[in-house]
Amino acid sequence: MVADKTISVLAILSLNFSMIRADFMIIGLYLMLFPYLWLTRRRHAILHLLVASVLAGCYLFIAHEQYGYNRELLVIAGYNIYPLFAWAVGLFGVYLMYAHWVPAFRKMAPLKKMVFFTALYWSLLFLSEILAYHYFNFRNIATSHYSGLPYLDCIHVPDWMKAFYILNGPAYFLFCELFRLPCPHSGVRTSMQTAGS
């Protein structure tokens, strides 16, 4: 859908490529997703967004002291709100992209589906982190003294947070698949166990 692509562009603009503050852009995008999914008759996709939101909320609860950016962003009760909404929108967006290709993968082995999703997630994660850090000068100064990932020079956070960044997408995918959440586009339940059926 053209609107799905527009949402992807708005997510990129939330990296501060627009005149609107990054936090307001990502919060607006997140809030816009609910009526958008409702109006496009993909109400079942809201469950995916809520799961991504809960995962992002749990992570931010643990890591909230590790976020402090080089720009003014909304902070509520010591919690920087930008990463909460960015993680939720990012995880949901990657799964939405993956779901576009799901019909082509119906007969694919579950491990191959996982590998495909993980490759897509890592590609988009690293691309967005490189763009944010090197081109938009969007930096987390609270953890700037940590080294970034080798060769990529991004994700300057403690090692436990690097592990979370890398494993968060695959964990979200496994949750969606193991609990057989319906496909965000068709409403058909997916399951890694039913590959080949």
Q: Which residues of 68-80 are buried (b: 16+ CB within 10 A; e: fewer)?
A: ebeeebeeeeebb
The answer on pLDDT for 49 being more than 90 is: yes
Tokens of 119: 């490759």
Q: What is the number of other CB atoms lying within 10 angstroms of the CB of residue 125?
A: 19
Give the E-state strand segments of the chain in sequence order. 75-76, 79-80
**Each residue's pLDDT tens digit, 169-187:** 999 999 998 888 877 766 5
pLDDT at position 183 is 74
One-letter identity of residue 179 = F
Using alpha carbons, select from 66, 134, 55 the residue that is nearest to residue 95: 55
- List all residues 6 or more positions away from 53 whose beta carbon is below 8 Å from its beta carbon: 88
- Is there a contact between 68 and 140 (Cβ–Cβ < 8 Å)? yes
pLDDT for res 195: 44
Under 8 Å between Cβ of 33 and 49: yes
Q: Express each pLDDT in 63-86 by its tens digit.
A: 999 999 988 898 999 899 999 999
Q: What is the DSSP letter of 183?
A: P
